[in-house]
Amino acid sequence: MTINPKLFGIAVAVLLFASCSQPKLTSEELHKKLQEEMIAVQEGGTIEIPAGTYEFTSELSMRDVKNVTIKGAGMDKTIINFGKQTEGAQGFYIKADGVTICDMTIQDLSGDGIKVHESKDVTMRNIKVEWTGGSSSENGAYALYPVLCDGLLIEKCELYNASDAGIYTGQSRNVILRDNYASMNVQGIAIENCSFTEVYNNTCEGNACGIAFYNLPDLIEKQGTNVRIHDNIIRNNNHDNFGNPGAIVGVLPGGTASFILAGRNIEMDHNTFSNHKTTSTGIVSYQLTERPWEDSLYYPFTTGFMFTITFMKTKNRCFQTPLNVWVS
């Protein structure tokens, strides 16, 4: 078949004109459009956020719709900055089963990056959350903040400069955290009152604490248990603790690789710890906080903890990484 060059040129010109004739939405227009879509979206729908850098002044929220995907054009292609936010406590608030959030960067939140609340089968993938001004107690507490969820996958995300935790999973069950990178946060990864959780292939470096697990009293979900933390790289977590001194995170000294408080059936194996000025592993009771509790079912001590020391091979020599264990 012979292509007519003249007709081909006309077709190309029409396509170019059509693409150029659609103006890019302003930040305000895009926010309005996205919020309307999050209200109107049907089960199984997809909400796309185009490439570009945008400034949003209020949070986006979605509730009570199943199996929706919210996706950008890619990490570092879709960038949403909340530095001038005046409304809402976080960037995204989601309460919806089967939601997938992926492929974007979120910056400079006064509160949390993405909060997912009371939801099932949640996926967060290929998301960067960062505070571009560096580490500050004025930054939001959590970059990714799922709480009271069942079925949670967080993978291939990057988290920087959160004043509490890059990834925080709270009172949730059936959790997988893998292939993430957390740096310059108070805690790289924090797991609180979670059960049946697996944390692997993550890199935590330059935080005050690399990975922490807590069981805290007086919460809805009691006594998280059955957690495996393995095959992670935990190194150079010697940042000063810049978190709220009145919060639980305030008890963490900078230079802590991992920290277990009142854990149940925690297994740590095949992790690589290196260059921490305080401790490789702190295993402590809740009594360290010197705070009272009213929960009659709460047990403040760690039980069922198994730790396997990582071996490394360098220049054909095997040596054991230094292990300091702080027990309280």
Beta-sheet pairing, 46-48 with 78-81: unpaired
What percent of the chain is predicted at pLDDT more than 90?
A: 72
Q: How confident is the model at residue 223 (pLDDT cuts 50, 70, 90)?
A: confident
Cα gap 205→271, rounded to integer Å: 13
pLDDT (mean) for 20-45: 90
- Between vectors from CA 63 to CA 217 and to CA 213, what angle results, nearest 5°? 25
Cα gap 93→145, rounded to integer Å: 10
pLDDT for 23 equals: 65
DSSP secondary structure, 238-257, as one string: -----S-TTSGGGGPPSSEE
pLDDT for 288 equals: 82
Over the stretch 79-89, which tens digit does the pLDDT of each residue have? 999 999 999 98
pLDDT for 5 equals: 55
Residues whose CB falls within 8 Å of the CB of residue 314, separated by 6 or more in sequence, listed in order: none
Please state which architecture CATH assigns to domain 25-327. Answer: 3 Solenoid (2.160)
pLDDT for 296 equals: 87
Phi, psi angles (nearest 5°) of residue 188: -65, -55
pLDDT (mean) for 91-108: 98
Name the amino acid, one letter, at 254: G
pLDDT for 3 equals: 57
Over the stretch 254-298, which tens digit does the pLDDT of each residue have? 999 999 999 999 999 999 999 999 988 888 888 888 888 988 889
The residue to which tokens 């903890």 are assigned: 305
The residue to which tokens 């979900």 are assigned: 221
pTM over 0.85: yes
Name the amino acid, one letter, at 120: K
Over the stretch 1-27, which tens digit does the pLDDT of each residue have? 555 555 545 554 444 444 444 568 999
